[in-house]
């Protein structure tokens, strides 16, 4: 792999993670900033920085000094000359290759094993059955309408001040408040990868439990988003686990909140040859999927 795309709290942090992934130093890379970081408003809509870090593959030829000459000038001249030679060679190879590419492709195609003859790493590892995994975001079945709800009152004030038009349904049981949000601007409440929704849920939990002796959890969902997100994470975890089984190399996921990390850990728990762990500090803590020793 000659490039790496990483998220971080700022550009420098994202570059540092990419350098670790590539095992390179700053003088060996080219950095492209894909997304600038943003703090958002009161933590809502905050964005991480995203960069693409590419390895520089063309190394400059190094000429020895002659009679204490200028080494930098010699290197630049040699680099220009070598680049010119490479360009000429590429043109010659391109002309020759284009004449034979169709015939060569036909020969290679005939040599390839048929699909049912190819050896697959699936032969060694059974498919991951996601249907048996518990649904962590499943809506509780014993919910009843909440006549009075500090959570719903707070959210109404918050959304009114933000100019967001949504409908708020407040339910509860002995363990939690469950808030379901629908309406025209409901997608705005979700945000990128659920970041805005998680921030709103965090603030709501602070407000609801401010003067309570016993903590009660508040769960906020938007038109079934959390269940859909959980399925997406399960599929991602299964895909990456198969990659680790095939290559033997560990995989680092993007930073996730505790709930999403729990989904990944739960999905891959007990999977043959795979182990998961978390590393880093909040809010940039991430899951590592690796081969079990």
Is position 47 within any domain?
Answer: yes
Is position 62 within any domain?
Answer: no
Among residues 13, 39, 55, the one where a domain terminates is 55
Q: pLDDT per position in the chain (293 positions), as tens?
A: 688 888 888 888 888 888 888 888 888 888 898 888 876 555 555 678 888 888 886 544 434 444 444 555 555 555 566 566 566 666 555 656 555 555 555 555 555 555 444 444 444 555 666 666 666 667 778 889 888 889 999 999 999 998 999 999 999 888 888 999 999 888 889 988 888 999 999 999 999 998 888 888 899 999 999 889 999 999 999 999 989 988 999 999 999 888 889 999 999 988 888 999 999 998 789 999 999 87
Q: Cβ–Cβ contacts within 10 Å for residue 123, how many?
A: 7
Predicted TM-score (pTM) of the model is: 0.53
Mark whether 218 and 231 lie in a shared domain. no
Mark whether 216 and 277 lie in a shared domain. no
Beta bridge partners of 50: 7, 35
Among residues 182, 199, 223, the one where a domain terminates is 223
Is position 110 within any domain?
Answer: no
CB within 8 A of 21, min separation 6: which ones?
Answer: 4, 6, 252
Question: Residue for token digits 């059974």?
Answer: 126
Mark whether 155 and 218 lie in a shared domain. yes
* CATH for 260: 3.30.1370.50
> What pLDDT is recorded for position 126?
56
Strand 144-145 and strand 49-55: pairing? unpaired
Mark whether 215 and 263 lie in a shared domain. no
* CATH for 168: 3.30.300.20
Mark whether 179 and 231 lie in a shared domain. no
| Domain of 24, in residue numbers | 3-55
Distance of CA 6 to the CA centre of its chain: 8
Mark whether 150 and 216 lie in a shared domain. yes
Mark whether 25 and 10 lie in a shared domain. yes
User: How many domains in the chain?
Assistant: 3
DSSP string, 124-155: TSPPP-GGGS--TTPPPTT-EE-SS-HHHHHH
DSSP state of 66: S
Among residues 175, 206, 223, the one where a domain terminates is 223
Is position 287 within any domain?
Answer: yes
What is the tens place of the pLDDT at every residue in 162-214?
899 999 999 988 888 899 999 988 888 998 888 899 999 999 999 999 888 88
DSSP string, 159-172: HHHHT---EEEEEE
């Amino acid at each position: 792999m000659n490039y790496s795309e990483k998220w971080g709290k700022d550009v420098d942090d994202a570059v540092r993670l990419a350098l670790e992934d590539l095992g390179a130093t700053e003088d060996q890379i080219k950095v492209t900033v894909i997304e600038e970081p943003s703090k958002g408003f009161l933590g809502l809509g905050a964005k991480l920085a995203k960069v693409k870090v590419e390895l520089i593959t063309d190394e400059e030829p190094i000429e020895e000094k002659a009679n204490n000459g200028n080494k930098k000038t010699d290197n630049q001249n040699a680099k220009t000359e070598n680049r010119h030679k490479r360009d000429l060679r590429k043109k010659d190879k391109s002309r020759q290759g284009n004449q034979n590419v169709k015939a060569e492709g036909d020969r290679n195609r005939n040599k390839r094993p048929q699909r049912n003859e190819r050896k697959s790493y699936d032969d060694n590892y059974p498919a991951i059955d996601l249907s048996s995994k518990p649904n962590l975001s499943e809506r509780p079945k014993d919910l009843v309408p909440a006549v009075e709800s500090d959570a719903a009152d707070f959210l109404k004030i918050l959304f009114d001040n933000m100019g967001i038009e949504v409908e708020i349904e407040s339910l509860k049981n002995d363990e939690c408040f469950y808030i379901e949000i629908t309406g025209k601007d409901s997608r705005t409440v979700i945000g990128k990868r659920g970041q805005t929704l998680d921030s709103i849920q965090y603030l709501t939990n602070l407000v609801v439990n401010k003067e309570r002796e016993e903590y009660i959890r508040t769960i906020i969902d938007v038109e079934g988003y959390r269940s859909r997100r959980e399925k997406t994470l399960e599929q991602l975890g299964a895909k990456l686990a198969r990659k680790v089984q095939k290559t033997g190399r560990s995989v680092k996921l993007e930073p996730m909140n505790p709930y999403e990390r729990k989904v990944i850990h739960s999905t891959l728990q007990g999977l043959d040859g795979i182990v998961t762990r978390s590393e880093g500090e909040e809010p940039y803590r991430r899951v590592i999927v690796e081969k079990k020793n």
